[in-house]
Amino acid sequence: MALTLPDAQPPTGLLPLEQAWLQLVQTEVETSLAELFELPDEAGLDVRWTQALTQARAYTLRPAKRLRPALVMAGHCLARGSAVVPSGLWRFAAGLELLHTFLLIHDDVADQAELRRGAAPLHRMLAPGRAGEDLAVVVGDHLFARALEVMLGSGLTCVAGVVQYYLGVCRHTAAGQYLDLDLGRAPLAEVTLFQTLRVAHLKTARYGFCAPLVCGAMLGGASSGLVEELERVGRHVGLAYQLRDDLLGLFGDSNVAGKAADGDFLQGKRTFPVLAAFARATEAERTELEALWALPVEQKDAAALARARALVESCGGRAACERMVVRASRAARRSLQSLPNPNGVRELLDALIARLAHRAA
């Protein structure tokens, strides 16, 4: 069954309609996501496996922004010039969101995360310690396969080519994750601001923003020109999103963000605000920053976190990152102006970009 998305009006401040757009997408995609865990051929395999998938289902259906499915819908609407969404597109978007869940599960294991969307990550739900990590990796692999199965089975025209494009993006995402983890072992003096931006592009901008917009547009029969324009928009908004995430990962409130506000410090992440501070610091401040980020996890207590935050702030890293968020979000909103505007979708995207640039979670 096809569904028509609501028309938009030009935004004034934070659009109630933009929130309604996201809520509609959340409702439709989460309904489809729940259905993806109905697997009769696996029901009788073993009770332990059934329990694991039940946990994975609960993890997947926690309240979330569902930005990627919303961008798929926007890209499709821009390409088709219509707000009518074919039912297969909801299923494709749910598969794409399930693939995102797989990446979150593996990311949480790599980062030794203790919080995801306000609750325990999957590896802590399945079993304590290393056993839970091993089991979560396997469940993540299962969700990856299931996501591809669903996307390819959506019945949409040209879907095989779209999935092939998306898998190419996923390869680059793996490169970004590798670089992120590997840079975490290097001294701050050996990491450049350019490398932090490359990680942001590979891990977040291209995969999380360019690709959903482009996939939706390709499924709607987009021209190569529209695809290029959407990639440009996605690149800028994805950078703004990741840089805001870098700020939340050091200065955020875990009660609001739904994930640890000290996670980046505990893991020694080489993020933009940290490297921007290091670039502006005196020799003494650089030595202290190096020492703080090199501390063993068990020594990164509240006092160490407070000092790390104070140094990044006083050296100008936080302000530099805020400026980059503003620049990237403005560039994204400027890039929107060349896009068509069927049913006010361009205004919806504009409001969404403004919202993401100022988010607290």
3-class DSSP assignment, residue 223: coil
What is the CATH number assigned to the segment(s) 18-357? 1.10.600.10
C-alpha 275/C-alpha 191 separation (Å) is 8
pLDDT grade, residue 14 (50/70/90)?
very low
Structure confidence by residue, pLDDT tens digits, 53-86: 999 999 999 988 898 999 999 999 999 988 888 8
DSSP annotation of 84: E
State percent of the chain over pLDDT 70.
92
257 vs 356, higher pLDDT:
356
Q: Which amino acid is at 79?
A: A
Sign, CA dihedral 230-236-242-248, equals negative
pLDDT grade, residue 9 (50/70/90)?
very low
Structure confidence by residue, pLDDT tens digits, 112-156: 888 888 889 999 999 999 999 999 999 999 999 999 999 999 999
Whole-prediction pTM: 0.88
pLDDT surpasses 80 at 6: no
| Of the candidates 136, 134, 143, the residue with the CA atom closest to the CA atom of residue 121 | 136
